[in-house]
Chain A
Amino acid sequence: MPELRHPWWPVARFEFLRVIRRADFLVSLVLMPLLSVGASFGAGMLAKRAADQPVRLAFVSAAPGVSTKMAVLDTVKAVTWYPVTGASADPKALTEAIEAKRYDGAVLVPAQFAGGDSVRILAKRSNPGWARRLREPLLAAARIERVKSAGLTGEALERLNAPIAFRETLTRPEGVTSKGDAIAALTLTILLLVTIYATAAYLGVGITGEKQARVTEVIVSAIQPQAWMDGKLIAFTLVGLSMATVWGGSALLFAVFSSWNLPPAVSPGAIVAYLLFMVAGFAFYVSMFSAILATIKDMQSTSRIQAYFYFIPVIPFIFIETILERPESLFSIVLSWIPFFSPMLMPARIALKAAPTWEWIGALLVLIAATHFMRLMAGTAFRVGMLMYGKEVNLPELLRWAKD
């Protein structure tokens, strides 16, 4: 009987089937789209309910021309106004009315509110959302008052408030960004992030499971530790990509069927680049997590230092604003080439037309090389860890063995 030419293959198949046949995997596979749809539906329902049940606000004005201000305030969404005068307009009486739940709050506009006197807000809690929504309409009302007192006409005010027109001329014809590209990049990046963490749970059991079940010696007497690890990496990459396909497909179908509109077009080159970064990025993070997990003997008793490595995939989101603002800066370029971050950041730069083809292909090759390195690290950590009974591998030991 010849030795297997591709010993990772039965491992990959066994591990893949082992995960996808798990009841909890199937539940999570179906549950995630349902939860997403449910969350979207729930958010819509809540928004509708909020619109149906507006905030009840008492309105007291000492300023002349109350009706004008009321007209402005009528533009505030989800508010029902109750003009109050006389004894009921006293702050003490209003406070009692709010506590008695007749109103949700009160707005007291002084006579000189446009001249600098404070608009008084009575609320149960500080900085309520409805108070923030009042600022713009009240400012507009104040402007009208100020224009009047300055002796200007309504036409003059319109001219003062007229928006400035911009006309964009691109210095490069290829600089046209597409909404479809941006949405696709963002969607696939989020999908990568969600699925990598969803897969990490199975990965933890998959990498440390044999140690706990004490099957490792049987397996590595049959195949090389690296082949075993390769099979695992392939299996869990496929598990994650299967999840991403189901979840991404569900999201796409939901988007289409809920709006009856096709999503905006994505350029073929961009979608290929995003998918390549997603697959390579997934393989990289799976390899990285596996290298970390391979140093752990038992998930129950391990030190928690390894857990900090799990935060790496979310680090790029700290820099995303800078990347979006200045995608061609040196900072953005360097970050988007680093394998820990490139699966998240390079698609954003591609969508912004800030990464020429040679650059993203270069970053992709670096990512693939780093994945290969992580794969070897995972194999080494497993080989070393397997033989160290009763204790876990520490970093100096791992590096020494890798060097050997």
Chain B
Amino acid sequence: MAQHSVLSVRSIRKVFKDRVAVDDLSFDVQPGEIFGFLGPNGAGKTTSLRMILGITRPDAGSVLFEGREQVDRSRIGYLPEERGLFEDQKVIDSLGYLGELRGMAPRDARAAGASWLERLGLSDRSKSKLNELSKGMQQKIQFAAAVLHGPTLAVLDEPFSGLDPLNQELFLEVVRELRERGTTVLFSAHQLNLVERLCDRFLLIARGREVLSGSLETMRRTISGGATETLVLELMTRNGSPPLDPARARAAFGDVGVAGTVKAELVGGGKLRVEAGLARQHDVGPALAALGGTWAIVTIETDPISLHEIYLRAVRSAMGEAAALEEAIDA
């Protein structure tokens, strides 16, 4: 029997008055995946998540949970972006209550809550009231509330916000542990350096529509014309060499046929900086030999194209296209 995706989103659309919040959005999340759902503010992420969770209904399209249209709420965990808990209640009581709402027996819910508090280093605060805790502690408790029932799918919206670097690292560990326990994670966050380390696949949206999707490698290739990493060189003149020439430097890479774009520009300190998008294991020896024979190569390094860079390029491109389209419509 074919295994269903944990989550299948099929052409969902949501319109608020005359504003299209989400438009024809489709994607699948596979069992055991950590899936990054990214986009700029106002891109339609939260609206999409609400439709996925059954809090609102899409105007068009459908959301399938393990192949069925009926979302089983007891098997989903949700950490919303807009957060809060019962401030007048003890932490363990709040966790027990929220566990019960997810279908757990009261005793099991409290036991699971206590276990998560221990894992998150808060076991000594179980009897505290929420308003007695720091923001970071509250954030951890919110997280525990979202996952204590061992959901099949955990939807985490901005889980890192308000956390210091130590706690961000803790959350990375804990999310990986969740996956090991069999929970599929749908993840939305703006801390792209962390998301990049965590997620298996990504969906990048802007203005309610998909901009880019796939694994990091796939997105790198898509956004950079097949390149997955950037080679950075800094060149200087040596005695008797010709003056630094950006066009000549670009031409050297043109001769070896790099996958991505080649940028060359004069920078301070009498240096020429060259950036070339490369496919993995591309032989750039001839280009380096040509450049090294002409000028001194004082710096050489390679960086994989970061999620941050992919995000900026993809979103700027999409926003530019959308703005151009709007201008055309207005005209």
Contacts and interface: CB of A to CB of B under 8 A. Distances in A.
Interface in B132-150: 142, 145-146, 149-150
Interface stretch (A94-102, A220-228, A324-332): A220-228
A222 B101 contact: yes
Contacts of A217: 50, 55, 78, 80, 82
Contacts of A387: 50, 55-56
B103 A218 contact: no
A219 B322 CA distance: 36
Contact of B55 (A3, A4, A221): A221
A215 interface: yes
A213 B141 CA distance: 14
B55 A222 contact: no
B163 to A, nearest CB: 18
A162 B167 CA distance: 95
A214 interface: yes
A114 interface: no
B296 to A, nearest CB: 59
Nearest to B101: A222
Contacts of A11: 101
Contacts of B27: none
B86 A3 contact: no
Contacts of B146: 218
A220 B89 contact: no
B72 A3 contact: yes
Contact of B97 (A4, A10, A213): A10
A219 B50 CA distance: 12
A101 to B, nearest CB: 56
B85 A219 contact: no
Given A3-B72, A221-B73, A214 B83 contact: yes
A1 B149 contact: yes
Contacts of B104: 1
B82 A1 contact: no
B102 interface: yes
Contacts of A222: 73-74, 78, 98, 101-102
A131 to B, nearest CB: 56
A214 B73 contact: no
Contacts of B76: 221
A112 B104 CA distance: 91
Q: What is the size category of the interface that chain A forms with chain B? A: 20 to 34
B100 interface: yes
Interface in B116-174: 142, 145-146, 149-150, 155
B320 interface: no
Given A18-B89, A222-B101, A3 B73 contact: yes
B205 to A, nearest CB: 20
A33 interface: no
Contacts of B50: 217, 387
B73 A10 contact: no
B84 interface: yes
B101 A223 contact: yes
B183 to A, nearest CB: 13
B245 interface: no
A7 interface: yes
A356 interface: no
Contact of A218 (B56, B88, B100, B145): B145
Interface string B49-78: 010011110000000000000001111101
Nearest to A388: B16
A20 to B, nearest CB: 13
Contacts of A82: none
A184 to B, nearest CB: 38
B87 interface: yes
A319 interface: no
B288 to A, nearest CB: 55
Contact of B84 (A3, A214, A221, A223): A214
B98 A218 contact: yes
Contacts of B80: 214, 217-218, 221
A212 B88 CA distance: 13
Nearest to A205: B88
A14 interface: yes
A217 B145 CA distance: 12
Nearest to B47: A387
Interface in A204-251: 212-215, 217-223
Contact of B103 (A4, A212, A220, A221): A4
Interface in A6-50: 7, 10-11, 14, 18
A2 interface: yes
Interface of B: 50, 53-56, 72-76, 78, 80, 82-89, 97-98, 100-104, 106, 142, 145-146, 149-150, 155
Interface of A: 1-4, 7, 10-11, 14, 18, 212-215, 217-223, 387
Given A3-B73, A223-B73, A387-B55, 5 more contacts: A221-B53, A221-B155, A222-B73, A223-B101, A387-B50
